[in-house]
Amino acid sequence: MLPSRLSEISEIPDIMLDKVVQSVKNTFSSISGEEPALVEQVHELQPMNGIIGNIAVFNHEHTLSMMLAMPKETSVSLSVKFVGFELEFDSDDIGDLIGEISNILAGEVAMNVETIGFRGQSSLPTATRGSDLSLFLPNKPPSARLRFSSADGDFWLYLALYESQRH
């Protein structure tokens, strides 16, 4: 599935991207009851006011880093579906919510990419909230920027595939 050296590829393989997209659809369908649509791959995200969940699925050879970016309105709308009431965007709870959604997504990704030979575990999630947030991915590793549309609003998933650090 993946070459041992990522320098041999310039993009995340389609078979892996397909599994990630299916994981996003499964995760968000289970939260909101509606499947989000993959709108497009984007070249860059304009700065946004929102929150970003960071998590990775990794093994001894490769790391798939994921940044889940949600505008304020999308995250607040999702909070109603996830916890049953609207969370204040400025609360610590919204960070916990996006961290938990990122964690659920990573578990789904880990399960689905295992079917194509990428057995891994997920890292602990972190969340970053702010205004005028910009997402940057390094130019070197294979990466993808995916935009999704849902009944709760748009959101983005940025992916980067790295060779894991060996000690």
Q: How confident is the model at residue 8 (pLDDT cuts 50, 70, 90)?
A: confident
At residue 5, does pLDDT exceed 70?
no
Q: How confident is the model at residue 84 (pLDDT cuts 50, 70, 90)?
A: very high
Query: Which architecture does CATH list for 6-130+139-163?
Result: 3-Layer(aba) Sandwich (3.40)
Q: How confident is the model at residue 31 (pLDDT cuts 50, 70, 90)?
A: very high
Q: Which residues are CB-contacts of 127 (< 8 A; sequence separation ≥ 6)?
A: 51, 52, 53, 54, 94, 95, 96, 98, 99, 102
Backbone CA torsion sign across 51, 152, 96, 119: negative
Collapsed DSSP state (helix, strand, coil) of residue 43:
coil
Dihedral of CA atoms 102, 74, 30, 129 in degrees, nearest 10, equals 20
State pTM to two decimals: 0.91
Token pair of 101 as six digits: 């959604």
pLDDT > 90: percent of the chain = 73
**Per-domain residue ranges of the chain:** 6-130+139-163
Q: Which helix (H) or strand (E) holds 99?
A: helix 92-114
Nearest of 93, 98, 157 to residue 125 by alpha carbon: 98
